[in-house]
Amino acid sequence: MLSALDKYRHAFLVGLQSNLIYRWNFAVRGFFSLFHLAVVFILWGAAFAGTRSIGGFDLRQTLTYFITLLVLQFFVSAFNEDYQISEEIRNGLINQFLLKPINYFLYRFSIFVAARLVSGALVILPLLVALPFVHDVLTFPFEGWRIALGLPAIFMSAMIQFTIAYCFGMLTFWFLEIQGFVILSMAIEAVLGGQIFPLDLMSADIFAGSMLLPYPYQMYFPAAILTGRFGFEEAIWCLGIQACWVALLVMISRALWARGLRRHTAVGG
Amino acid sequence: MLHYGRIWLASVRYSIVRTMMFRGDFIVWSLVELFWMSVNLLLISVIYRHTDSVAGWNKYEMMLLVGTSMLIQRFLMGFFWSSIFEMGRNVRSGNFDFFLAQPGNIMFMATTRKLDPDGLANSIIAIGIVVYAANQLGLQPGVLDVTLYALMVFCGLVIHYSILVMSISLVFWLTSAHGVEGTYFTLTEFSRLPREAFKGLVSQVMFVWLLPVVVVSNAPARTLLDRFEFSWKWTLGPFLFAAAWFALAVFVFQRGLRRYTSASS
């Protein structure tokens, strides 16, 4: 069993090395994410100028939510995995995986984990720079269950991020160009993932409906647990929904791989 | 000048023919852009569900500001985005050689090669948002106001173009521009904020004057909102910024070009 997993350890190590080559890209991206944080501070600071509470949360709680989201983004987001998978299919590079005793999904997941470790580590640098300016606004509820539920929620968020990106990559078996679908999905994720505004600020019906979709579990849900926007019972219930989405998306990705391979033609030698 | 005009028209013809060939792609990308625009309007809608004013701007004033920002960005997407985005990849792959051999200024050839009709199609929606917001506010701008608005939108386009060229030019130093193009989108987020929201000297100097993306959208929006005051800052400012940022973009691009070593097989 362990020897079977060893190949994925090597894929992980190769992924680590290849992502470290582009460390400056991640660092630049991390640095510019501070500008996004500045936009958030300015906009919500202005919105809170005339009121003490929006949606039952004060300015500090709202800003803490956005800071948490920013950090999570570098640890769990799929940045360009869909594009990489698409390129491998389009250029015929996946042919080599068809002849080897390796699971393509696990191979890509190993590289994804390596990439997120690198981007997560590199976002710590700009965060340290920003810490003197933001530490006054940080306010986390210190309840043990939030960590206990938050950690599996973060792991499953990463799984959902990866499987959605993987499924989009698989679409290359049917469509030559997937970039349009990816960007459209990014826009939906941005809204329903809670990146534009905390989802609980929407009307109650729309919020309840959106929590049945996979998108809030990509980022909003773990951030909401950690920053006190969810109570214990709600969190348990949503953790169950999140686990269902992980299982369903893994099944969909396996089905797309199997169906896609039937359409695939390996050319050349 | 006429020579470049003819080259540009040839690029327009090529882009339109290409769009007609990939009609499905055109529809998908138009929807993508439309959705992103809707996201911005949704944010306004959600915030104003909970408050009446953001930095003294009411909902429709804010909509007019965001519509103006979108208009400038749609023009940028329509006229330049594909070419500049591909420039980053071409430098990495070595395909940038192709532009070095073309009969014209390299920056012009590399940044104007492709037009995206989907971006331009959505600029009509952005104009619609501005007109709708102006209508809701009961504004009746004169010909002079509209002309000044159009000129300032043009200045905004030049400034956005310059910032984008500089962002992508980092590829000459970094080898891969992947993720770097996102820096441009981060900076343009400021253009959707009202000038009055920037409190404190540091944020004003840094985000309003050093990175003039705030002026880019606020100046034209103010001309329509009757908030326009005839001061050199708001009248000449956008024109001076546009000239200065364009000069800086040319400088950075040329410096980067010196580092280009191609990537032969």
**Among A195-199, B66-70, B73-77, B180-184, which is the least confidently predicted range?**
B180-184
Q: Are A193 and A216 in contact (CB under 8 A)?
A: yes
Q: Is B43 a residue whose pLDDT tops 60?
A: yes
Q: Which amino acid is at A76?
A: V
Q: What is the pLDDT of residue A251?
A: 97
Closest alpha carbon to A41 in A62, A70, A68, A72: A62
Which strand (E) or helix (H) includes residue A175?
none
- pLDDT > 70 fraction of chain A, expressed in percent and rounded: 98
> By percentage, how much of chain A surpasses pLDDT 90?
47
Query: What radius of gyration, in Å, describes the C-alpha atoms of chain A?
Result: 20
Q: Where does the pLDDT of residue B234 fall: very low under 50, low under 70, confident under 90, or very high at 90 and above?
A: low
Cβ distance B232 to B150 under 8 Å?
Answer: no
Angle (deg, nearest 10), helices A59-76 and A144-170:
50
Task: Report pLDDT for A245.
Answer: 97
Question: In this model, does residue A27 exceed pLDDT 80?
Answer: no
Size of interface A-B (CB pairs under 8 A): 106
Residue A26 resides in a domain: yes
Average pLDDT in chain B: 85
Amino acid at B132: Y
Q: What is the number of other CB atoms lying within 10 angstroms of the CB of residue B202?
A: 10
Contact of A125 with A85, CB cutoff 8 Å: no
Residue B263 has pLDDT above 80, yes or no: no
Which burial class, exposed, middle or buried, applies to A131 when counting CB atoms under 10 A from its CB (0-12, 13-18, 19+)? exposed
- Judge whether residue B85 has pLDDT over 60: yes
- DSSP run (H or E) holding B87: helix B82-93
Look at residues A99, A104, A70, A103 and name the one whose alpha carbon lies nearest to residue A84. A104
Contact A55 B47 (CB under 8 A): no
Mutation to test the A interface, candidates B44, B50, B163, most A Cβ within 10 Å? B50
- Collect all residues of chain B within an 8 Å Cβ-Cβ radius of residue A36: 186, 189
Across B15-40, average pLDDT: 84
Chain A residues with CB under 8 Å of B170 CB are 28
3-state secondary structure at position B57: strand
Decide if pLDDT at A28 tops 70.
yes
pLDDT value of residue B180: 64
Chain A partners of B31 at a C-beta cutoff of 8 Å?
184
**Contact yes or no for A47 and B51 at CB 8 A:** yes
pLDDT over threshold 70, residue B186: yes
Which of the 8 DSSP states describes residue B114?
-
Average pLDDT over residues B85-112: 85
Q: Which residue has the higher pLDDT, A123 or A263?
A: A263
Q: Which residue, among B137, B153, B156, has the nearest Cα to B145 in the 3D structure?
A: B153
Helix (H) or strand (E) holding A211: none
Closest residue to A42, CB basis, from B28, B170, B203: B203
Chain A residues 20-79 with a CB less than 8 Å from chain B? 22, 24-26, 28-29, 32-33, 35-36, 38-39, 42-43, 45-51, 54-55, 79
Rounded to an integer, the average pLDDT of B98-106 is 85
pLDDT of residue B132: 94
Is the pLDDT reported for residue A265 higher than 60? yes
Q: What 3-state DSSP class applies to A76?
A: helix
Provide the β-strand partners of residue B57.
B54
Using CB atoms, which residue from B46, B190, B199 is nearest to A197?
B46
What was the pLDDT predicted at A218? 93
pLDDT at B131: 94
SS3 state at A54: strand
Q: How far apart are CA A46 and CA A44, in angstroms?
A: 5
Collapsing DSSP to helix, strand or coil, B54 comes out as strand
A200-204 long-range Cβ contacts below 8 angstroms, 24+ apart: A200/A55, A200/A224, A200/A229, A201/A54, A201/A55, A201/B46, A201/B49, A201/B50, A202/B46, A203/B49
Residues of B within an 8 Å Cβ radius of A: 25, 28-29, 31-32, 35-36, 39, 42-43, 46-47, 49-55, 170, 174, 176, 178-180, 182-183, 186-187, 189-190, 193-194, 196-199, 203, 207
Q: Is the pLDDT score of B250 beyond 60?
A: yes
Q: Give the three-state DSSP class for B253.
A: helix
Report CA torsion sign: A20, A25, A27, A29: negative
Contact: B29, A54; criterion CB under 8 Å: no
Instruction: Give residue-wise pLDDT tens across range A82-114.
Output: 888 998 888 888 888 888 888 999 999 999 999
Quick one: chain B helix, strand, coil %, rounded to 5? 80, 0, 20
Residue B209 binned pLDDT confidence (cut-offs 50, 70, 90): confident
pLDDT in tens, A183-211: 888 888 889 999 999 999 999 999 999 99
Percentage of chain B modeled with pLDDT above 70 = 92
Chain A CA closest to residue B214:
A39
Model confidence at A268, pLDDT cuts 50, 70, 90, reads low
Contact A66, A42 (CB under 8 A): no
- Going by C-alpha positions, the residue among B235, B231, B194 that lies closest to residue B61 is B194
- What is the token pair recorded at A215? 């998108």
Give B89's Cβ-side CA count (13 Å radius): 6
pLDDT at B264 over 70: no
CB contact under 8 A, B39 and A190: yes
| Probe site for chain A from B86, B186, B188, B213 (most A CB atoms < 10 A) | B186
- Torsion of the alpha carbons at A96, A102, A108 and A114, rounded to the nearest 10: -120
Q: Tell me which residue of B234, B47, B59, B183 sits closest to B129, measured CA to CA.
A: B59
A31 within some domain:
yes
- The shortest C-alpha distance from B58 to chain A (Å) reads 11
Task: Using pLDDT thresholds of 50, 70 and 90, give the confidence band for residue A63.
Answer: very high
Q: Which residues of B touch A181 (CB under 8 A)?
A: 28
Nearest CA in chain A to B200: A42
Instruction: Please state, in angstroms and rounded to a whole number, the distance separating the CA atoms of residues B119 and A32.
Output: 25
Contact residues for B195 (Cβ-Cβ < 8 A; gap 6+): B208, B214, B215, B218
Nearest to A42 among B28, B183, B193 (CB): B193
Token pair belonging to B107? 């920056």
Q: Give the confidence band of A222 by pLDDT, cuts at 50, 70, 90.
A: very high
Among the partner residues A25, A42, A184, nearest to B198 by beta-carbon distance: A42
Helix (H, G, I), strand (E, B) or coil at B45: helix
Chain B residues whose beta carbon lies within 8 Å of the beta carbon of residue A39: 186, 189-190, 193
Buried-exposed string A148-186: b where 16+ CB fall within 10 A, e elsewhere:
ebbeebbebbbbbbbbbbbbbbbbbbeeebbbbbbbbbb
Return the higher-pLDDT residue of A247 and B222: A247
Arithmetic mean of pLDDT, A73-85: 87
The more confident residue out of A243 and B187 is: A243
Burial of B219 by CB count in 10 Å (0-12 exposed, 13-18 middle, 19+ buried)?
buried
Q: Give the confidence band of B117 by pLDDT, cuts at 50, 70, 90.
A: confident
Measured distance CA(B177)–CA(B212) in Å, rounded: 23
Task: ipTM value, please give it.
Answer: 0.80
Most confident of A198-202, B163-167, B217-221: A198-202
Asked whether residue A268 is domain-assigned, the answer is no
pLDDT tens-digit profile of A125-184?
788 888 888 888 888 888 899 999 999 999 999 999 999 999 999 999 998 778 778 888
**Are the beta carbons of A196 and B43 separated by less than 8 Å?**
yes
Report the candidate in B31, B67, B43 with the shortest Cα–Cα distance to residue A194: B43
Partner B contacted by A190 (CB < 8 A):
yes
User: pLDDT digit string (tens) for A225-261?
Assistant: 999 999 999 999 999 999 999 999 999 999 999 999 9
**What's the number of domains chain A is made of?**
1
The residue type found at A87 is E
A125 falls within a domain: yes
Q: Can you give the residue range of the structural domain that contains A130?
A: 2-263
Alpha carbon distance B173, B153 (integer Å): 31
